[in-house]
A and B are shown apart, each in its own frame.
Chain A
Amino acid sequence: MDVWSSLMDGFATALTPMNFLYAVIGVILGTAVGVLPGLGPAMTVALLLPVTYALEPTSAFIMFAGIYYGGMYGGSTTSILLNTPGESSSVVTAIEGNKMAKAGRAAQALATAAIGSFVAGTIGTALLAVCAPIVVKFAVSLGAPSYFAIMVLALLAVTAVLGSSRLRGFASLGLGLAIGLVGMDSVTGQRRLTFGQPLLADGLDIVVVAVAIFAVGEALWVAAHLRRTPMHIIPVGQPWMGKKDWQRSWKPWLRGTVFGFPFGALPAGGAEIPTFLSYVTEKRLTKHPEEFGKGAIEGVAGPEAANNAAAAGTLTPMLALGLPTNATAAVMLAAFTSYGIQPGPQLFASEGPLVWALIASLFIGNLLLLLINLPLAPLWAKLLQLPRPYLYAGILFFATLGAYSVNLQAFDLVILLVLGALGFMMRRFGLPVLPLILGVILGPRIEGQLRKTLQLSAGDPAGLFSEPIAVGIYVIIGLILLWPFAYKLFRRTRPARTPLVPANSGAADYSD
């Protein structure tokens, strides 16, 4: 079946009245939770996972698509109206967005963010529909050695490239991998790290881990440092844009999309780099350079589009390779697995209708987002004023409820508290959370591929290099790992350049 007819079948599934209703509920829930301060898209998805458990997989994923985009949009609303973004990908949006809001142009900032998200999300989803089958075709030819290499690349890239301290990234990765080891070994049935506790034999439920690290850790962390002075929230009316705003926005939307999608699709992706690139580009190309730093609409339109296009891009490796590259995709992968569905090249063959229904509902979710959020924006802004004790008590309450409802055992709540304390410690000492989550999810998969590889080569380590793609990826991994050292060496051999840059401005940040 070609892409077009599969997609049309997907729309047919997604547009049945019940499924459509789930999409609407998903978008509303996703936005409502995403708007709440301190709750980024990944946490929104993790907290709302249990809600989808009672549904059959197709409806659940349709609802998920809504939650995903809703959570993304909710996050950008928060960053425009409050200035302190909950998620690193909306940092750039906050720069100009909040300035616009303060200058009385909150309505235009929210409108360009919403419409830009819609444009970028739609183009991004279309690219996803086109690219994913191509990636699948390519992926089917890959064997265990290549998969092993790609997954190692994804882990190392996320750990080494993002975040300010590589060392702390690797520490977080190590903890995640250790958590992933808990439970019965899939090949030999040996129990690892269970300490004789039968409830640990099945491993730690990934939903419990994600909710603990994201939601409980965050709630405890904020509770310890709760701002006692009331925050200033900018009142907002109906979002709208004038003709001039449209003229200034449409090009940044498209350019942002071009930046966002490929970065999202790469194993080291994420939305931080493309949103930043988009901001820099718009600043250079704008006809109103004097407005930058005071609230230029281009500075909101471009990064927001890049952010949403990256979100769509992230789904390409997630669906086609089973490879999550950001926290939200990692949680979604966990959701797939809890339904007994394994994302990867076989997914399109074995669960074709489900995947295409999911992609179709991404289109629908995107449109719903625009239709629902433009009129409801003032209501979302009200949510920001929720008294903080209720907000964080509510997060704990629903985190508990979500984690408990997975298996209905109080033991999971003990794990929730222990890992929540770990999440608190990580926030206190600047350990990034993402490598841990990816370690938990990818660790067991990497181990599986490693064992398969060496099984095929009868124990010969040369089997790891038996596929050309694997070798190529190891070269890239080598470059990523050696880059800071090479950079230092370069700086040392060229001391003449130092007068231009303060002596320890760049390299020192990466050296620890």
Chain B
Amino acid sequence: MTSQTTGLKGRSELGVALLLGAAGVMVFLDANGLVTPYSKSDPVGPKTVPFIVAGLLVVCAVLLAINVLRGGKGEAEGGEDVDLTHPADWKTILPLAGAFVANILLIDWAGWVISGTVLFWGSVLALGSRRYIRDGLISVALSLLTFYGFYLGLGIALPAGLLEGIL
């Protein structure tokens, strides 16, 4: 038992295999549920390609699982601002995702100027800036600028929401 638990440790990549497999099964079930009479003008039908894609995904899932169990590893992507020496920093990611979700919930009701401000301010704070006032002012300015920029420059009316009539 102990050897198996240590065997699974650090193998989070198996989750990728699981995801691929699940996606494959989902594509298969979805295509299988389609009802199509055979038609001469379309011998391939809408099911064939999904079946092939599902097969590809499942095969990749199995091969990836084998590869990972044998010690294979996907190489995490480096970059200018990426420091791979420390593990994923969930204290940054979760608030960041939170700001993103807040924007989704607010955008239609409160309007872009408010939701965009929340998004930018929240993201900057999550990423570690601590100049609250300056960041807030920049957020408001960016949201207002893009709102009017899109409206006047591109003819795209972003939702005004709560501020309807003021903007």
Contacts and interface: CB of A to CB of B under 8 A. Distances in A.
- Note whether A and B form a binding pair: yes
A174 B131 CA distance: 44
Q: Top 7 A-B pairs ranked by shortest CB distance? A: A430-B74, A459-B43, A393-B123, A389-B127, A54-B154, A37-B80, A429-B74
Interface in A218-271: 218-229, 231
Interface string A66-98: 000000000000100010101000000000000
Contacts of B74: 165, 168, 428-431
B81 A396 contact: no
Nearest to A37: B80
Interface of A: 37-38, 50-51, 53-54, 78, 82, 84, 86, 164-165, 167-168, 170-171, 173-175, 177-178, 181, 185, 187-188, 190, 192-193, 218-229, 231, 387-394, 396-397, 400-401, 404-405, 408, 410, 413-414, 417, 425, 427-431, 443, 446-447, 450-451, 454-455, 458-459, 512
DSSP class of B's interface residues: helix, strand, loop or mixed?
helix
B46 interface: yes
Given A178-B27, A450-B44, A188 B82 contact: no
Given A185-B46, A220-B93, A428-B76, A458 B40 contact: yes
A51 B154 CA distance: 7
Nearest to B30: A193
A431 B43 contact: no
Most buried by B among A226, A387, A414: A226
A226 B57 contact: no
Contacts of B127: 223, 226, 388-389, 392-393
Given A224-B90, A397-B119, 19 more contacts: A50-B154, A51-B154, A167-B60, A170-B56, A188-B36, A220-B96, A221-B82, A223-B127, A225-B83, A226-B92, A389-B129, A400-B119, A401-B158, A404-B158, A405-B150, A410-B107, A429-B13, A429-B74, A455-B42
Contacts of B114: none
Main secondary structure on A side of the interface with B: helix
Given A165-B74, A192-B50, A226-B81, A428 B20 contact: no
Contacts of B101: 417
Given A404-B107, A428-B88, A84 B79 contact: yes
B116 to A, nearest CB: 7
B32 to A, nearest CB: 11
A392 B119 CA distance: 12
A188 B77 contact: no
